[in-house]
Amino acid sequence: MTKHIKENSEFLVEHFFRNEYGKMVAVISKYVDIETAEDIAQDTLLTAVEYWQHNGIPVNPQAWLYTTAKNKSLNRLRKNKFEREYQNQVKEEDLDTLEFTDQLIGDEQLRIMLACCHPAISEETQVTLILKILCGFSISEIASAFYTSNEAINKRLARGRDKLKKNGLNLERTHNLNSNQEVILKTIYLLFNEGYFPARENQVVRKEFCSEAIRLTEILVASEKLKPKNNAHALLALMCLNCSRFEARINNVNEIIEMERQDRTLWNQELLNKGLRHLNEAQKNDSISKYLILASISANHGIAQKYEHTNWSEILALYDALLTLENSAIVKLNRLVAYAKVKGSKAAISKLLKLKGLATNHLYYSTLAALYKDISDHPEAIKYYEKAISLVSNNRDKAFLTTKLNAVVPISNSHV
Amino acid sequence: MKMSVEQQQEHVQKVGAYIKGLFEAGKMKAAQPLEMEGAIISQEQGKFIDGPFNETKEVISGYYHIVADDMDEAIEIGKADPRFEDGDWRLEVRPIMKVDGIN
């Protein structure tokens, strides 16, 4: 019985608690300031851990949490009663009769998202605030995911909270949400990118960033208040489609597997299909976004039964479209990979060699190297793999590239 | 919730046609919301923050990656807007109980 509860507790603590923390903070912060709301949410979870360990997990753990959080909030309000009598009284009455409906929880989380994405707040702080307040990650989890110290994160959060106070957390006006949704989407996109990283030290936490990004976008998509929704659908499609291949990208000895070698039976069909459905919803009103194009590219990969069946000319056409929205060297680089498949490696190499702006990007060199290997120009392939390796600093990437380098050199020169 | 291979292909073809339609009609830029114009998906200033590009990252290299070793540092690039660094932050130290997995 104890072991059972312990296992459940671990799951609870890792996912459920973390998510519920954010929901509680969002709702309670309507009645108290945000830091108090976080305190109360934390307190509630602590109480839950203690109580549930002795008495078992309740039939409806969510309801239990919300009731407890509500009571703790009411107590706080009553304690401060004499400071600001009238205001507290009004809030108290509201809170007393409050019901934690799904809609309310969704709306309040949206409100916090919008507040955290205020333009006066820097991008990295926006993401950090969301990670802390809405997603319930701890300071040290956030710090290690950002490869920085707890102090740096605390600093960032303090700055961010300051700005939140100055700019107010109260944004009920719907038009604010709709006209600012792009900022929210971009922040979620950044969050997703933070998480979309193969095994490095904190793989679990980083993968959670991806699921959090998806969860937050689902709130946007489910909201009645958000209009139009097609860009949110596009972003959600992109994330689902990319995540559908997660399991196949790392093998059980933590090596990276490139697409050609991925075991496609490990691709998550449910996520893939979910991505496709959202892709469908994203095509509205003659509107477009980079997310939509990237998602379509990812979808083309996702539906190929085998690497050899990949529709490269379609992907190339999609990159052409993407270029009109963002004419950057990185987009050009990625396009040239598809171009190589359609027009041949030699043609792609000559275009790549003319491409400027990627002198310190190892992906540029590894792409060149792979293409040279393709046309059996071994000296050039070796040269560019070595250059790529010199630009890479982490061991996993180095190992991957070194394997590629070693595979270029012909194993034997002996002829029979 | 299952989708047949044909249905999947249909979805992908449909969105492809939608995008290419806008592209061929020269409507791409106009079709993008104004607020999204500045939101570049990759940055180039000696270092990179790269988006989830399938080709270089997954096809060629199998991974997603940020060139700058310190992600923190990478994000700082181009964000040197003095408005965001007011320097008068307060570091709050509050006694919070430590519970595994929560904080």
Q: What per-residue confidence (pLDDT) applies to A97?
A: 84
Judged against a pLDDT cut of 70, whether residue A52 lies above it is answered with yes
Contact A169/A215 with Cβ under 8 angstroms?
no
- Stretch A85-98: mean pLDDT, rounded? 74
Calpha distance A283→A273 (Å, rounded): 16
Q: Which of A91, A165, A82, A182 is nearest to A129 (CA)?
A: A165
- Max CA pair span of chain A: 97
Q: Do A318 and B52 touch (CB under 8 A)?
A: no
Q: Cis (ω within 30 of 0) for the bond into B82? A: no
Q: What is the mean pLDDT of chain A?
A: 86
Judged against a pLDDT cut of 70, whether residue A391 lies above it is answered with yes
Q: What per-residue confidence (pLDDT) applies to A87?
A: 62
Please check whether residue B10 touches A, CB under 8 A: no
Residue of chain A nearest B14, judged by CA positions: A280
- Stretch A115-129: mean pLDDT, rounded? 87
Please check whether residue B51 touches A, CB under 8 A: yes
- Stretch B76-84: mean pLDDT, rounded? 34
Q: What per-residue confidence (pLDDT) applies to B41?
A: 56
Structure-model confidence comparison of residues A39 and B57, the more confident one: A39
Q: What per-residue confidence (pLDDT) applies to A95?
A: 84
Contact pairs from chain A to chain B, CB under 8 Å: 264
Q: What per-residue confidence (pLDDT) applies to B36?
A: 62
Please check whether residue A152 touches B, CB under 8 A: yes
Judged against a pLDDT cut of 60, whether residue B54 lies above it is answered with yes
Please check whether residue A264 touches B, CB under 8 A: no
- Stretch B97-101: mean pLDDT, rounded? 37
- Stretch A58-87: mean pLDDT, rounded? 83
Q: What per-residue confidence (pLDDT) applies to B9?
A: 95
Q: Do A279 and B11 touch (CB under 8 A)?
A: yes
The pLDDT tens digits of the residues spanning A178-199 come to: 878 888 898 898 888 877 764 4
Q: Which range (A271-280, A283-292, B14-23) has the least confidence?
A: A283-292
Between the alpha carbon of residue A96 and those of residues A21, A25, A71, A89, A168, the distances in Å are 20, 16, 8, 10, 24
Assess: ipTM above 0.85.
no
**Nearest CA-CA distance, residue A27 and chain B, Å:** 19
- DSSP classification of residue A256: B
Q: What per-residue confidence (pLDDT) applies to A154?
A: 95
Q: Which of A155, A185, A293, A101 is nearest to B23 (CA)?
A: A293
The model carries a pTM of: 0.80
Structure-model confidence comparison of residues A346 and B45, the more confident one: A346
**Nearest CA-CA distance, residue A59 and chain B, Å:** 22
Judged against a pLDDT cut of 50, whether residue B59 lies above it is answered with yes
Calpha distance A398→A199 (Å, rounded): 14
The minimal CB distance from B64 to the residues A197, A293, A400 is found for A197
Cβ-Cβ contacts under 8 Å, A193 against chain B: 49-52, 64
Q: What per-residue confidence (pLDDT) applies to B92?
A: 24
Judged against a pLDDT cut of 60, whether residue A381 lies above it is answered with yes
